[in-house]
Structure 1
Amino acid sequence: MKSVIIASLTFVFLTAFNHRGSLEKTASLTCILKSDKTNYKVGELPDFKIEIINNTEKDIYLIGSLDGSDIKWRMPYCYFTIQEPKPDSVDMVGRCGNMNTLKPQDFVLIKAGAKFNPYMSLNEYGFFTDHTVTNSQTFQTPGVYRIQFHYSTNSQKLDDFMGDRPLQQDKAKRQKLVSLLQRVPKVDIVSNEIEITIGN
C-alpha cells in the first residue's frame, strides 16, 4: 500500500513538473546580444546585433524600438545597460520631448521559432536607434565594458505604448491597435552579457 501511495505521488509530481516546463517553454522569448568584434579603438562605435527569438509554438506580434523607447518614456522599453571602466562622465544628449504616435505598422508578426530585431528597417518605417550605443562619446575610456540589452512590453495599457496622441483619434484605428497589442506577449527580458575592450 505504501509503495502504491509513493508511486502515485511521484506520478502527480512528474506530471505537474512536465506541465510547468511546457508552460515555461510556451511563454519563452530568448534575447541574444552580439557585437561585430570584441576589441575596438577609442571612439570607435561597436556594431551591436539583437535577436529576440520566439521560442513559443505560435505566431506572435512584437514591437520594435519606438521614439522614446531607449530612455523609457514609452513601451516597449528597448535599452542597453553598460558597466564602464570608470563612472560615466559623458554629458546627456538633449532631445525633443515629442514622440511619434504608435501605428499598426509598428507591430511585426513573428512566426514560431523566428527571430526579431527591434532595430530593424521595415519598409518605409524604421525603428529608432538607442542614443547611448550610437554615441561615440560612450566608448572614450579605455578598458573593459560589460553590456546587456533590455526589452519590456510588460503593460496591458495601450497608452503606455502610444507616444503622442493624435489630435483626433479614430475609434476604429484605436481598436485595431488594441487588438494587435493583445497579441504581444507581456514580457521583461534581458539578453546575455557581452564584454568588449576599448584600447588606445
Structure 2
Amino acid sequence: MKRRKTYIIILIVTLLIGIRVYRQYQAETLRIEDYVYSDIQERIDIDSGIVCILIPQKTYYRIGEKPQLDVLIINKTDSTIYLPGCLDGSDIRTRLPYCDFLVSNKNILKPQKWIDVSPNPLINLDLQKLSPNDCFNPLSDYKLKSFKINKDNALNLPETTFSQLYNFWEPQSLQGRNFLLPGNYEIQFIYSTIPDENILFDWNVSCNDFEQLNIDLIDSIPEIKIQSNTVKLKYRFL
C-alpha cells in the first residue's frame, strides 16, 4: 500500500513538472497570432498622420509576470515634428503627454498606481525629433545626459563634467502586480498631447529650465490623441 501511494505521489509530481515545462515552452516559443501582425501591418501602411502600434514579444504569461510590449509611434506626415516620451506622472494625468495602457479583463482588475504630484520639469532630452517616416518608442529611448559641476575654489574642486543614461518612464499599468489573476487581458496604448482640465501641470516647464528649453520645440509638438492596436495576452497559473 505504501509503495502504491509512493508511485501515485511520484506520478502527480511528474505530471505537475511536465505541465510547468510545457507552459514554459509555450510561453517562450508559441507564435503570436496572425491577427496581431496583420493589424500592425495595416497601421504601418497608412499613408498619412501619426500612427501608434503595439507589438507583443509573446502572448502567453504566468500570473504576476510583467507583459513584454514594444510601442512605436510613427510620423507618417510630410513634416518634421517633436514628440515627448512618456514622463513621470504622464500615466496619472499629472502632466503632458498623457500616455498609458488601457488594460481590460473579465475579472475587472483595476491597475494599481502611485500618485506623483511633483514631476520633473520638461527638458530637451524629453523631446524626440521625428522626420517623415521616422519612429520612436515613447517608453524606452536611452540617451546620454551630461551634467556640469562648476569649479569650487573654497573646496578646491575643479570643474567636472559627467554623464548618465537618461530614459523615459513606463506606465504603472504594466507592472506585474496588475496581472495576478488568470485569464485573457486586452491591452491598448493611448498617447495624447492635447491639454485639458484634467492635466495638472500641462507641459510642466519650470522658470529655471525655461531658457534652456527652446520654445520653438514646444510649438512644434502637434496636438494629437492616438491609440494603438489592441493585443490579447493570456495569463495562466503555470
Q: TM-score, normalised by structure 2?
A: 0.65
1:155 aligns to 2:195 (yes or no): yes
Residues 93, 155 of structure 1: CA spacing in aligned structure 2 closer, same or farther, 3 A cutoff?
Answer: closer
Whole-Å separation in 1 of the counterparts to 2:184 and 2:84: 31
Instruction: Kindly indicate whether the alpha-carbon contact (under 8 Å) linking 2:123 and 2:209 is maintained by their aligned counterparts in 1.
Output: no
Instruction: Kindly indicate whether the alpha-carbon contact (under 8 Å) linking 1:85 and 1:142 is maintained by their aligned counterparts in 2.
Output: no
1:116 aligns to 2:151 (yes or no): no
- The percent identity for this pair of structures is 32
Q: RMSD value over aligned CA atoms?
A: 2.3
String of CA shifts for 1:118-157, please: whole Å, max 9, x gaps. Answer: 0122223211111120x21111111110110000011399
* Secondary structure at 2:220 match in 1: coil
Question: Counterpart in 1 of 2:60?
Answer: 39
Residues 43, 154 of structure 1: CA spacing in aligned structure 2 closer, same or farther, 3 A cutoff?
Answer: same
Whole-Å separation in 1 of the counterparts to 2:179 and 2:216: 41
String of CA shifts for 1:47-90, please: whole Å, max 9, x gaps. Answer: 11000000012211110011100111110011011112212266
Question: Counterpart in 2 of 1:8?
Answer: none
Residues 43, 173 of structure 1: CA spacing in aligned structure 2 closer, same or farther, 3 A cutoff?
Answer: same
Instruction: Kindly indicate whether the alpha-carbon contact (under 8 Å) linking 1:61 and 1:107 is maintained by their aligned counterparts in 2.
Output: yes
Whole-Å separation in 2 of the counterparts to 1:179 and 1:58: 15
Q: TM-score, normalised by structure 1?
A: 0.76
- Code of the residue aligned with 1:132 in structure 2: it is S
Per-residue deviation at 1:97? Answer: 2.5
Aligned residue pairs total 168
- Code of the residue aligned with 1:180 in structure 2: it is L
Question: Counterpart in 2 of 1:140?
Answer: 180
Residues 171, 152 of structure 1: CA spacing in aligned structure 2 closer, same or farther, 3 A cutoff?
Answer: closer
Q: Which of the numbers 60, 63, 68 marks the counterpart of 2:89?
A: 68
Whole-Å separation in 2 of the counterparts to 1:61 and 1:122: 16
Instruction: Kindly indicate whether the alpha-carbon contact (under 8 Å) linking 2:94 and 2:117 is maintained by their aligned counterparts in 1.
Output: no
Whole-Å separation in 2 of the counterparts to 1:171 and 1:34: 36
1:55 aligns to 2:96 (yes or no): no
Tell me, which stretches of 5 or more residues in structure 2 are unaligned?
Answer: 1-45, 145-164
